[in-house]
Amino acid sequence: MMSAPKPIRRARFARPLLQLSLLVLFSLVLFWGVELLRRQDPFLRTVANLPPDLQGMELLLEQPTLTLRDGKRVLATLHFDALAIERNRVHWRATRLRQAVLYDEEGKPIGTAHADELTYNFPAKRLYIAGNPTLTIRRHPLGDFPLTVQTAWLNWDLRYQQLHTDLPTRLSWQDGQGTIERLRWDLASGVLTLERGRFRVSSALVQERSQPKREIDIQWDTAKLRSDHSEVRGLRLRDGDILATAERADVYDRKRYALATGNLRLEDPRIDIEGRQLEIWYGENQKRARLQNSVRMRIKPRQTQPPSEGEDESELEQAKRYPIDATCDEIEYFYRRKVAYLRGNIKAVQQLPEGRMRTLYADEAEYDQNKETLTLKGKVILDEPDRLRLETALAIVSLKEGEETVELPRGAKGVFYYTEENEEATPPNGNR
């Protein structure tokens, strides 16, 4: 029988030897790495020469500064009075967070915080800030002003870059204050989510600079605020005795434009307005709003004294005491000039006593709030069955209290209905 060549037999013996050598070398490198970590670990350096019963102690640092990083990017710097770290490094407990500075993706400060207590869960990368924490957001979608947040506790998730709290929270700034039930701030995207909130703020959309500040009460179900586009759902706004509601509102602050949709309603002591879509342009040179899609209005009656017993009531006084229901295609309101334009299929109906009904039709209308005039244009028709029907191309109605008049600059044509009894009746002045 032939035996294997000597080189082959040597290779068979050399292979296990090589594997053993690699294993020993790997073990030495691992041991050296662990020892290096032990030397760098403050806990292991501290407890190396302590008795076993003391080696479970915490590391206590006085007035430390902690820098939180995601790779090379700095997330925040925190300054404490004292910081206690468990030997297993799961929980880090701080006493009195004197100041925390938060940074954005570019390393620029976006907010500060302080609190009485703080716990850091190292494996979960979460900070629990308690003890009356106060967060000041200096860059946020609401505007260019510091926003102060006060609540019972804040949860800061470093992995997802989110600050949130599910407890009632108070917000305040220079021109207002408010409360919310839940807050979530995404530091990475800059989205600030506020749920079931209520603010009292100075008017920014309709208030002129020359006018004194007034407060507006704003409530909503959910608001997602961004620097360029914010979404608000379940909006309710009260300005004095005016109440406005909308199912959804989208605000594009860079374009100075807002869009409200859904069941829109505006109520005030003189008029109720309903529609499906409202657009608002609030730039410096264009202060206007446009309501369209199924626009309905109810002009409420004025509170007038009924006539004395035995005294006849004029047609004008009678009209003041009954509401007017109107519809049109759209309303455009220039709120700096206080002028509103009504367009498309204008129809106004007024229910009068004894089952009578008065109806007004027009193609266009213009309401000047400063002059207190209503100008009707196009094919203008005033129809009251069995009494009169008038047609004109232009009618100017003065709405000033005590000076109510109707002008027909282009004349009018119409039909007046009367009975023979009315024709034979003697006028009050005795002339026929």
Two tokens, residue 179 = 């409360």
Choose between 370 and 195: higher pLDDT: 195
CA 354 vs CA 46, 49, 373, 389, 423: distances in Å: 99, 105, 29, 19, 22
Q: Is the pLDDT of residue 184 over 50?
A: yes
Mapped to the 3 state alphabet, what secondary structure does 330-386 carry?
Answer: EEEEECCCCEEEEEEEEEEEEECHHHCEEEEEEEEEEEECCCCEEEEEEEEEEEECC
The 10s digit of each residue's pLDDT in 141-169 is 777 789 999 999 999 998 888 999 999 99
**CA 410, CA 393: separation in Å to the nearest integer?**
7
Structure tokens belonging to residue 239? 């300005």
pLDDT digits (tens, 9 = 90+) for 267-298: 888 788 899 999 988 776 778 889 998 899 88
Compute the mean pLDDT over every residue in the chain, rounded to the nearest whole number.
80
Question: Three-state SS across 11-76?
Answer: HHHHHHHHHHHHHHHHHHHHHHHHHHHHHHCHHHHHHCCCCHHHCCCCEEEECCEEEEEECCEEEE
d(CA 38, CA 29): 14
* Percent of the chain residues past pLDDT 70, beyond the cut: 75
> Token digits for 298?
């109810």
Q: What is the pLDDT of residue 45?
A: 57
Query: Residue 393, class by beta-carbon neighbours within 10 Å (0-12 exposed, 13-18 middle, 19+ buried)?
Result: middle
Instruction: Look at the alpha carbons of 130, 136, 137, 143 in this order and tell me if their dihedral is positive or negative.
Output: positive
Q: Which residues pair with 126 in a beta bridge?
A: 121, 157
Among 222-231, 303-312, 327-336, which is the least confidently predicted range? Answer: 303-312
First vs last C-alpha separation in the chain: 155
172 confidence band (pLDDT: 50, 70, 90):
very high
Q: How far apart are CA 341 and CA 328, in angstroms?
A: 11
pLDDT at 253: 78
What SS3 class is residue 138?
coil
Burial of 279: CB neighbours in 10 Å, binned 0-12, 13-18, 19+: middle
- pTM exceeds cut of 0.75: no
Q: How does residue 323 score in pLDDT terms, banded at 50, 70 and 90? A: confident
* Residues 6+ positions from 274 with CB-CB distance below 8 Å: 263, 264, 265, 266, 294, 295, 296, 297
Give the residue, 403 or 54, on which the prediction is more confident.
403
> What's the mean pLDDT in 209-218?
68
Average pLDDT over residues 217-239: 90
Mean pLDDT, residues 298-307 taken together:
69
What structural domains does the chain harbor? 55-166 (2.60.450.10)
